[in-house]
Amino acid sequence: MREYFLGFIKGIGMGAANVIPGVSGGTIAFITGIFERLVNALKSFNLTAIKLFFTGKFKKFAEHTDLYFLISVFLGVGISIITFAKLLQYLFEHYEVMVWAYFFGLILASVYYVGKTISKWTWSVITLFILGFVIAFAFTMLTPARETNTVPYNLFAGAIAACAMILPGLSGSFVLLLLGNYQLIMIESVSNFDFTVLIPVVIGAVLGLIAFSYFLSWVFAKYKDQTISLLTGFILGSLAIIWPWKKVISTYTDRYGELRPQTSVNVMPDAYSGDPQIWQAILLMILGIITIVVMEYIAEKSKKQSKSE
């Protein structure tokens, strides 16, 4: 029960991260030590699992798919997304820079801890780190599409966002932002339980996750250091997305007639302007870093206790 409770708590962290454009639930899974297990559990939904389920061998089905672990994690993810969507809407309206600052510190610290797990820095590992950084940074240069509320498009958006969600450094919410459907799916539909939108998104997400987990599991087993290096580059490159201080350079009008930012550029804050928000944001960055340091300390302590038992 302790193990599944911890999975639930980590799922809450993943869900909260996935609501925020630029923050990756996969990063949270990675730094909390459940990434490989999660990928392998998703990959286990194969013909064997189908056969076990439809022949009534539910106990073996649960063991084969690591079902209770998946339920605990995704229950946390689901509850977190539903509750955090409303909270996030309020926080972004009133404390946008503060929210970005905290998560910037969180992700900045996770670059070090994820990269630390690489056993040997070869040329291929270094090259893939740079490639990961370039790809993630290139994502920040893309202009978001306009909102499209159709079943096929929401299926597609769910599948692509779910694949990004499980990849450390790539944000499922940011992908939805690029596809134009972030506001529709993560804020409006989740907050208002609009199942005409959510059902296609969830179906697409489940199919995308299972299909993508096969590739991830294979590449992680065969090229572990290279994969971690690429993902670390992704995480570092994604920092440009969540830099707290931005200047909006173009807007669009949504379906409610409200102006929303479409493209923006990162700017440096004026530390001498006398604006107390700047120093508050810097303190929240530091708090984000401390959060990861504490999480890593607890995880390391838990590992040592498990070994000694």
Mean pLDDT of 202-221: 83
Choose the most confident range, by mean pLDDT, from 63-77, 163-177, 218-232.
63-77
Q: Highest mean pLDDT: which of 96-100, 122-126, 173-177?
A: 122-126
Domain ranges of the chain: 2-308
| Residue 204 Rama label (left phi>0; alpha psi -120 to 50; beta) | alpha
CA nearest neighbour of 82 among 193, 166, 201: 193
Q: What pLDDT sits at residue 286?
A: 92
Pick left, alpha or beta for residue 257 (phi over 0 → left; psi -120 to 50 → alpha; otherwise beta). Answer: left
What does the pLDDT look like over 113-124, one tens digit per residue? 778 878 888 899
Q: Are 89 and 63 in contact (CB under 8 A)?
A: no
The 10s digit of each residue's pLDDT in 262-306 is 566 777 777 656 666 888 888 999 998 888 788 777 767 766 665
Give the mean pLDDT of the chain.
79
Residue 272 or residue 49, greater confidence: 49
- The pLDDT score that the predictor gives to residue 71 is 92
Q: What pLDDT is stored for residue 254 in this prediction?
A: 56
Full-model pTM = 0.65
3-class state of residue 151 by DSSP: helix
Predicted pLDDT at 72: 92
Q: Tokens in use for 93?
A: 């309206």
